[in-house]
Amino acid sequence: MTHAGLLACLAAAALLHCGAPRERDAGPLNLLLITLDTVRADRLGCYGYGRGTTPVLDGLAARGTLFEQASASSAVTPVSHASILTGLYPYHNRLRSLHGGAGYALPEEQRTLAEMLAARGFATAGFVSAFPVTRHYGLDQGFQTWDQDFQSSAGAVVSERGVVDTGSAQRRADATTDRALAWLDGRTGGPFFAWVHYFDVHDPILLPPAEYLARFAPASASHADRLRAIYDAELAFVDAQIGRLLDRLGELGLRDRTIVVVVGDHGQGLGDHGWWGHGILYQEQLRVPMIVAGPPPARAQRVRTSVRTVDLLPTLAELLQLDPPEAPLDGESLGAFLAGSRQLPRMAYSESINDLMAYDDSPRAGESLFAVNDGRWKLIAAREGGASKRIELFDLSADPTESRNLAEARPDQAERLRRQLEALAVFPVEGPQEPLPEEVRRRLESPGYL
Ligand SMILES: [Zn+2]
């Protein structure tokens, strides 16, 4: 069978089972997109972590395709999500900075996955858990139901910082899941697209119930190890909430009619490369979990080839037989991978522009960062004030944790990737943008961005 044939079989799987059609299953498949904020791939069991953080996601991966080397286009939340939802890199969709203030929302003319699906008659609903993915950034485009109601479902929580009022900026995974389940229960038929975003692991603020904290003892009494244990506990709680979503799909008879996609927006430093949060472009911040599961008989497989989160939109457009956007996409369909075909690695591009200004005590504070990764060699270019400041080159096959900068030892590879980066013409205006509005500043303070 050709790739196209295999793909058609996969897309129509529940309909045809590659054979006799079943009348009662006719009609488009549904789509459930789950985005995991701040989750680095190596903290999931199915990516090799041994602490039992993600039994639900491990089970999902075991019935779908797990991409071992998926790269995010950015290490900050709205920028990375905009790429997932448009199939475009930031320099094409023009949402390039968290801290740019007004005018840095996804432009209205961009075509999003939700708009494409709504145009095809899907009921579309988004349930988000934090301010950086809200209407302010334009990420609600195309959603008929849009739930960013943090005020009524969060409130003050007790955290590492003491009592924190998260009411205006974020909510815990159970609150978001409750809303999504209520919407699923109230549906009246027809295909749907639901996007559920979880934010818990972003900070030690949205603490999970005590039994989750008790399950993950810190490796030592150090503050850093205590925070790492909380990160694991928060991830385990998110995983359990995803279990509620998947269970409800089963109870509603929708499991075999729904494609489930799980993807991270970026990872987290957790101390690697001297960085706790995110915003810079090492692999612990860019390599994200990415799983495409269902419907049966989707194959259980692991793909080791380098792919990108911008590839998701064209993949889903192909699986759901949507009309492609008029403008060319940066992403390419992963359909051949899903059908089991071996493919060449894809060059991954990532950027971080004006997003380090929040770290004003860091020597990186004024930098903007640009990276390209061909699946083995990765170049990170730091620029400041419009000029090149530093080049780093890593051989990910020999040094996956990026501990040895080979820019001087391998000038051939550094020059090759530098030319590829420059060919993208991605270097933008850098430096301070218009001042951040006070309301935005206040809301970003709560999630810990500033
Ligand atoms: Zn994020």
Predicted confidence (pLDDT) per residue in 243-277, tens digit: 999 999 999 999 999 999 999 999 999 999 999 99
CA of 41 to the centre of ligand 1 (A): 14
User: What's at 281, amino acid-wise?
Assistant: L
State the Cα angle at 349 between 343 and 354, rounded to 5°. 165
Question: Which of the pair, 392 or 429, is modelled with greater confidence?
Answer: 392
CA of 36 to the centre of ligand 1 (A): 8
Q: Which of 148, 242, 145 is nearest to 194 (CA)?
A: 145
CA of 306 to the centre of ligand 1 (A): 21
What's the helix, strand, coil split of the chain in %, to 5?
Answer: 35, 20, 45
User: What's at 80, amino acid-wise?
Assistant: S
Question: Which of the pair, 76 or 299, is modelled with greater confidence?
Answer: 76
Q: Which of 70, 77, 92 is nearest to 139 (CA)?
A: 77
Q: Which of 184, 169, 173 is nearest to 136 (CA)?
A: 169
pLDDT tens figures, 94-150: 898 887 655 678 999 999 999 999 999 999 999 999 989 999 899 999 999 999 988
CA of 415 to the centre of ligand 1 (A): 31
Return phi, psi of residue 394, to 5°: -130, 145
CA of 109 to the centre of ligand 1 (A): 23
User: What's at 46, amino acid-wise?
Assistant: C
CA of 101 to the centre of ligand 1 (A): 17
CA of 151 to the centre of ligand 1 (A): 20
CA of 339 to the centre of ligand 1 (A): 30
Question: Which of the pair, 430 or 259, is modelled with greater confidence?
Answer: 259
- pLDDT of 446 strictly over 60: no
* Confidence grade of residue 165 (pLDDT, cut at 50, 70, 90): low
pLDDT averaged over every residue in the chain? 87
pLDDT tens figures, 16-50: 333 333 334 457 899 999 999 999 999 999 999 99
pLDDT for residue 24: 40
What number of other Cβ atoms are within 10 A of residue 437's Cβ? Answer: 12
pLDDT for residue 17: 36
Sign of CA dihedral 12, 29, 116, 176: negative
Calculate Rg over the CA atoms of the chain.
21
CA of 40 to the centre of ligand 1 (A): 11
156 beta partners: 165
CA of 130 to the centre of ligand 1 (A): 9
